[in-house]
Structures are given as C-alpha cells and as structure tokens.
Amino acid sequence: MSSVNPGALPQTESKAKPRNEWPLWEIFIRGQHGMSHRHVGSLHAPDAEMAIKNARDVYTRRNEGVSIWVVEARHIAATAPSQKGPIFEPSESKVYRHPTFFDIPDEVGHM
Amino acid sequence: MNALHEFLLRTGDNCLILGHRVSEWCGHAPVLEEDIALANTALDLLGQTKLWLTYAAEVEGKGRSADDLAFLRDAWDFRNVLLTEVPNGDFGRTMMRQYLFDQYHLLMLQGLAQSSDETVRGIAAKAVKEVAYHVDRSRDTVVGLGDGTDESHRRMQEALDYLWPYVGEMFASDTVDAEMAEGGISPDPASLRDAWDAAVADTMAEATLALPDSRFHHKGGRDGRMHTEHLGHMLTQMQWLQRAYPGATW
C-alpha cells in the first residue's frame, strides 16, 4: 500500500546544511471529558519538551485539556490523496457493515 | 508606614511592572509560539497584580482601588525591584530576566503559601502554580539558548552580565521585611538567597554560562528611593489612557 509523507523533513544530522526552522509538531489533546486524544493543530518547537510547553500555551489557554501528546510531523505516515478511490470507495457500497439491520427488543432500551 | 501595605505594594508592583514589560512583546516575539507563551506569562502576572493590589488598597483603607494604585501612582510610589523595570532588550535578555525573577518568585510564593495571613496565603496558593510553570519555561529557554549556537550563547552571557547587578536587590531585606517575617506573613527575602543561588548555579552550569562573581547590586526600587530612568518612560505608556481620559472605563 502506498503512503506519503508530504511534510517529511530531512534529519538535521544527515544533511550537510542544517535547517534554520524548528521542526513541525502535530498536537493531540485529550479534553476534560474526552476518552481519546484529538488532533488540534500543529506548531514549531526545537524539541519534544518545548513542543509540549508550546502546545500548553497555544492550545490549552481556555482550559481545553487534561493531557497533551506531541509527535514530530515527519514521523506521521499518511494515505496518498491520489489513492483516495481504491482506499475509501470500496466501503461506500457495503451498507451491511453498519449494524442497522437488527431489530432491537424494546426491553433493551436506549442503545 | 503600614508594613503590610508596603509589603503588598512591593509584591504587587513586581508583578505589574514585569507583567507590563513582558506584554510589550505581544505581536513582536521571534515566533508565534513564544509570542503566545509570553502573553500568557504577562496575563498571569497581571492577574496576580490585581489580587495583590486589591488587598493592598484594602489594607490601606483610603478608598482606593487596585486600578487606582496601578494607573494613578507616579514612578516614586512604585515598589517593584529594579530588575523588573529594565527594558526588554533582545529576546535572550527578556528570558534571562524572566528566569532570574521567576526563580526568586517561586521561592517567595512557596513561603507565602504558608503565610499567617489568610488572604496572602490564598493569593500565593493560586499564583505558585502559575509561577512554577513560568520558571519551568524560562529555565528551559535559558538553557536552550545558553547552550545553543555561538550567537545565542554570546547573547545570553551578555544578558546575564547585564542583569546580574539587579539580582541582589531582590534579597536586600529591610525593616518592612523584618516586620513581615516576625509576624509570619512573609519569609525574609534574604533567607531565600542560598536556595536561589543553588538553583541558578545549577541552571547556568547546564546553560554553559559563567556566573559573574560580583555581589554589587543596584538598589532603590523596592523602597522607592530611586527607580531607573526606564520606569517613568514605561509608565507613560502603561498609564496613558487613564491620564488622558481620567476615569475612562470599557
């Protein structure tokens, strides 16, 4: 399966010329009542520790979160936009994968 | 002179003046992330200012408000340490000043959280969490830039050398402090110096920066005897609206 990482940046140490920009980090925050971390945006930071601090300052100013995850953007592998058809369209015609064909007995109540 | 009032002015004015200085970076910081982080710090300090100066005004008992104290006093009435009013300089100097103050601020607030005065204790308990983060952040930046490139190292060493003569005033106790310490309201600032020295020596070693060995320090801020020439200029900005339009509100 093909995947792309358009934001991939070279490792600083592997290239002769170091980059002048801080790396990009993707930020995930778990809200007060949320079960899972959700992607909220991205920012720049020199290292993981500062990325967490920056995320705290940029994305939790209004009491949004109880936990922060950060991951450097170049470590995220993504599906290729050109592969959208083969990857996602086959599931469009498979309505039976939605559990909507069962009769739920009244005694079960809200589900 | 009411010592408690004087103590509250000193504590509140440190927050107000440093908070205003830090807010001057808003829209000007080197990167967006730092811009927001500095604005957060400034707002934390401003929030603390309001609590300290509200209590100062109450203790004073002359019907003045925290706003009156912030916006209608002139330079000689301010009681902040000189360190908080020196101009920002470059980003490195701003962060160095922040760290040197944060480290003191944290120790002081940890002491004030045990105060015999219930209001002081309450304010300190709220502020200490904010300041624990401030010092965490400013320390990281001092280490990152000190142990960074040749240029950042040079700038941080210059910042430390420039600011060092303003450090001693934070720990220069006087009769007000003696009275506060006696009543269990506040720790004696001088008693915090050893812990501060140890923490700062540790940070500067990690930052590969050389601590100046001079103990000379400027004074005149916390007793209002003589502020630097910078405070008056700063107040013309900070107090402009209330001076030009007395009593103006949102």
Chain A nearest-CA distance from B14, in A, is 23
Q: In sequence order, what are the residues at sequence separation of 6 or more whose Cβ sits closer than 8 angstroms to the Cβ of residue B209?
A: B142, B146, B153, B156, B157, B160
pLDDT band at residue B239, thresholds of 50, 70 and 90? Answer: very high
Q: Among partner residues B32, B133, B140, which is closest to A50 by beta-carbon distance?
A: B140
Mean pLDDT of B107-118: 97
pTM for the complete prediction? 0.86
Is B244 touching A (CB cutoff 8 A)? no
Is B144 touching A (CB cutoff 8 A)? yes
Inform me whether the pLDDT recorded for A7 exceeds 80.
Answer: no
Q: Among partner residues A44, A46, A53, which is closest to B137 by beta-carbon distance?
A: A53
Structure tokens at B69: 């104290």
pLDDT: is B11 or A79 the higher one?
A: B11
Q: Which amino acid is at A79?
A: T
**Residue of A54, A60, A70 to mutate, interface with B, max B Cβ within 10 Å:** A54
Residues of B in contact with A57 (CB under 8 A): 33, 36-37, 40
Pairwise CA distance, residues B139 & B146, whole Å: 10
B181: in domain: yes
B189: in domain: yes
Is B10 touching A (CB cutoff 8 A)? no
For residue B38, give the chain A residue with the closest CA.
A57
Chain A nearest-CA distance from B128, in A, is 17
pLDDT: is B34 or A85 the higher one?
A: B34
Per-residue pLDDT at A100 = 78
Inform me whether the pLDDT recorded for B121 exceeds 90.
Answer: yes
Number of domains present in the structure of chain B: 1
**Residue of B33, B36, B129, B141 to mutate, interface with A, max A Cβ within 10 Å:** B33
Per-residue pLDDT at A65 = 86
| DSSP structure class, residue B24 | T
Task: Give chain B's mean pLDDT.
Answer: 96
pLDDT band at residue A111, thresholds of 50, 70 and 90? Answer: low
For residue A62, give the chain B residue with the closest CA.
B40
Mean pLDDT of A46-51: 93
pLDDT band at residue A56, thresholds of 50, 70 and 90? Answer: very high
Q: Which residues of chain A are at the B interface, by a Cβ-Cβ cutoff of 8 Å?
A: 22, 43-46, 49-50, 53-54, 56-58, 61
Distance of alpha carbon B7 from the chain centroid = 14
The whole domain housing B60 covers: 3-244
Per-residue pLDDT at A43 = 96
B84: in domain: yes
Pairwise CA distance, residues B25 & B191, whole Å: 33
Is B31 touching A (CB cutoff 8 A)? yes
**How many other C-beta atoms lie within 10 A of the C-beta of residue B236?**
10
This complex has an ipTM of 0.77
Q: Which amino acid is at B210?
A: A
Structure tokens at B61: 């008992």
Counted across chains A and B, CB pairs separated by less than 8 A come out at 28
Output the domain CATH number for residue B231. Answer: 1.20.1260.10
Per-residue pLDDT at A8 = 52
B249: in domain: no
Residue contact B36–A46, C-beta within 8 A: no
Inform me whether the pLDDT recorded for A1 exceeds 50.
Answer: no
B236: in domain: yes
B250: in domain: no
**How many other C-beta atoms lie within 10 A of the C-beta of residue A65?**
20
B210: in domain: yes
Give per-residue pLDDT as tens, B127-176.
Answer: 999 999 999 999 999 999 999 999 999 999 999 999 999 999 999 999 99
pLDDT band at residue A64, thresholds of 50, 70 and 90? Answer: confident
Chain B nearest-CA distance from A69, in A, is 17
Q: Which of A26-40, B1-15, B65-79 has the weakest average pLDDT?
A: A26-40
For residue A25, give the chain B residue with the closest CA.
B33
Residue contact A50–B31, C-beta within 8 A: no
Residues of B in contact with A54 (CB under 8 A): 33, 37
Chain B nearest-CA distance from A45, in A, is 8
pLDDT band at residue B91, thresholds of 50, 70 and 90? Answer: very high
Q: Specify whether the CB–CB gap between B124 and B115 falls below 8 A.
A: yes
Q: Specify whether the CB–CB gap between B111 and B195 falls below 8 A.
A: no
Per-residue pLDDT at A34 = 74
pLDDT band at residue A11, thresholds of 50, 70 and 90? Answer: low
Give per-residue pLDDT as tens, B186-216.
Answer: 999 999 999 999 999 999 999 999 999 998 9
Q: What are the DSSP E strand ranges found in B71-150? A: none
Per-residue pLDDT at A18 = 63
How many C-alpha atoms does B155 have within 13 Å on its Cβ side?
19
Q: Specify whether the CB–CB gap between A74 and A5 falls below 8 A.
A: yes
Per-residue pLDDT at A110 = 74
Pairwise CA distance, residues B79 & B102, whole Å: 18
